[in-house]
Amino acid sequence: MPRKTRLNRIAEIVTKAHESGRAVPTIVLPCKASPTGEIRLHRATEKSRFPGDVQVTDGRRDGNTWFGAINHRTGNMFVARETPAAITALLVEFNDDPAGVGARLGLSVGSCVFCNRALTTDESKGAGYGPKCAERFDLPWGKATAVADVAEDYVTTVIRPRRLLAERIVEELLLEDGHMRPWETAVDAVERILAGE
């Protein structure tokens, strides 16, 4: 039996994109856990068994791997049993912050995850997606874009704590004369710091 995960926001933005004129909205997210290196979220057509639902696959045209489907009315995703946990985790992260995660992933590959086109203008490169996708997928656009928030959050939650931790480790490892501690005591010191002592 497939597992269930609730992904309302993904269902909402794909439905909004369809209503704004995209016949088959497709979102392409880079993902190392997928056999193709990406996962594709696309709206099932009216001829489909479940029209309007968001299908999650590895994107191959023939013989693709199906990871699950998101019900467009409830937001419930039925996750296939063999779907790697990393894919589900990425979908949950994307659902929680489509603009921020989409921008970060788009910038990492140089193309918009919402339309799969290259980011060419300075504004699009700054935001991680373009103004048309912002409008179609109901994303923020303008001076206060998601990338600035993502960058600030990354610095606050990742870079600063790591820098402080690294500084503390270096201070602990250096002796007063500038030499390093012996290897055995250095490992103990680092383990104590990482354990929060």
**pLDDT grade, residue 71 (50/70/90)?**
very high
Tokens for 75, please give them. Answer: 């937001």
Q: Is residue 131 part of a domain?
A: yes
| Residues 52 and 125 placed together within one structural domain of the fold | yes
Last residue of a domain, one of 136, 158, 180: 136
| Residues 126 and 153 placed together within one structural domain of the fold | no
| Residues 69 and 115 placed together within one structural domain of the fold | yes
Predicted local confidence at residue 2, as pLDDT: 47
Total tally of structural domains belonging to the chain: 2
Predicted local confidence at residue 10, as pLDDT: 92
What is the rounded distance in angstroms from the CA atom of residue 158 to the CA atom of residue 39? Answer: 26
What is the rounded distance in angstroms from the CA atom of residue 56 to the CA atom of residue 79? Answer: 9
| Residues 105 and 46 placed together within one structural domain of the fold | yes
| Residue numbers of the domain that contains 160 | 146-194
* DSSP per residue, 137-178: TT---SSS-HHHHHHHHHIIIIIHHHHHHHHHHHHHHB-TTS
Predicted local confidence at residue 173, as pLDDT: 66
pTM confidence score: 0.69
**86 pLDDT above the threshold of 70:** yes
| Residues 95 and 171 placed together within one structural domain of the fold | no
| Residues 122 and 44 placed together within one structural domain of the fold | yes
| Residues 186 and 127 placed together within one structural domain of the fold | no
Q: Which tens digits make up the pLDDT trace of 13-69?
A: 998 888 887 777 889 999 999 999 999 999 988 898 998 999 999 988 888 899 999
* DSSP per residue, 3-68: EEEE-HHHHHHHHHHHHTT-SS-EEEEE-TTSTTSEEEEEEPPTTSSSTT-EEEE---SSSPPEEE
| Residues 61 and 152 placed together within one structural domain of the fold | no
Provide the percentage of residues in the chain whose pLDDT is more than 70: 72
**Which of 1-5, 111-115, 168-172, 181-185 reaches the highest mean pLDDT?**
111-115
Q: Is residue 35 part of a domain?
A: yes
- Contacting residues for 18 by C-beta, under 8 A, at least 6 apart: 24, 25, 43, 52
Q: Residues 110-134: what's their mean pLDDT?
A: 88
At residue 76, the 3 state secondary structure works out as strand
Q: Residues 85-105: what's their mean pLDDT?
A: 91
Predicted local confidence at residue 31, as pLDDT: 92
Pairing of strands 3-6, 26-30: unpaired
